Each structure stands twice: as C-alpha cells, then as structure tokens.
Amino acid sequence: MVRRTLKKTTQHKKITDFLKKYKIPREYFAANRKMISRGVLIGLFIAFIPMPMQMAAVVAVTPFIRFNVPIAIAMCWLSNPITMPPMYYMEYLTGSFILGMEPEPVQMTLEWFKDNLSKIFIPLYVGTAFYSVFGSITAYYLVNWLWKLSVHKEKKKKTAKRK
C-alpha cells in the first residue's frame, strides 16, 4: 500500500513540473526499493548524529550516493527538539557503557552542558556511532524486507484473483 502510494506520488504532475523547473535529477525522487531503502539508511544515519543542519548534510551527500532525498530528509526529522534529549541521552549512556565509563549524572541546563562537555563528548559520539551505523543498517534491511514482502503479497493476491 505504501509502496503504491509512493510510486503514484512521485509521478504527480506538480512534482514532475518542480523537477523540470529546478533541473533536479528525477532519480532523487525515485520510488523503487533501492532508492527508498538508501534514503532511509542515509537519513537515519545523519539523524542520530548530534549536529545542526542535518537536512543540509543529507543534501550534501546527494552527489556521491543516489537515494530518495525526500525520504532521507523525512528520516532526519525523527530527531527533532522533542526527541533529541532522549536520543542523545540514550547515545551518551550507550557510549559510556561501551567505553566502560561511569556516566555522569546529567542536568538539563545549558550551564551544566558547557561545564561538562569535555566529559560527555567522547561517550556521546561513541554511542552516536553505534546507533548511526547499526540503527541505519537495520532500518535499511528492514525496509528492503518489507518492500519485498509487499511485492510478494501483491503477486499472491493477483494470482488468487485470476483463479
């Protein structure tokens, strides 16, 4: 269902006109299994990284890797001002665990972060690397599997209708 909706949406006249007007390669909006799953991979990889302008980072990657850019940007939105504190705290705790360090008790104040940034920086980015790599790769394979499952179910349904 989602697969069909994506395919119909990318072929809409307004999107086609937009792509022609700004001379954007059509492949950045392609709705096939490889492009969607790559978009999820890139978007989630960047979403887990604590940095400003994550959407700009997605766009900066486009000349080097072909993927569905709108899907990747949507995946970046998973890290928003509401989800960032729990995400980054989880990454910090995971990084502390991986490094075998005792995590600092965190206070949600700018002053605390300014004073303790040097203590939490390395565990935070070790946790970030863990979730960026394993989370995005897991999502990539999950999207691939779900896409293939959807195609298989659709084919079964069509053959059942014919009989």
pLDDT exceeds 90 at position 87: yes
Burial class (CB in 10 A: 0-12, 13-18, 19+), 42: buried
Tens-digit pLDDT profile for residues 130-144: 999 999 999 999 999
Domain extent listing, the chain:
2-162
8-state DSSP, 52: S
Burial class (CB in 10 A: 0-12, 13-18, 19+), 100: exposed
pLDDT interval class at 1 (50, 70, 90): low
Give percent of the chain with pLDDT exceeding 70. 98
Q: Which pTM value belongs to this model?
A: 0.85
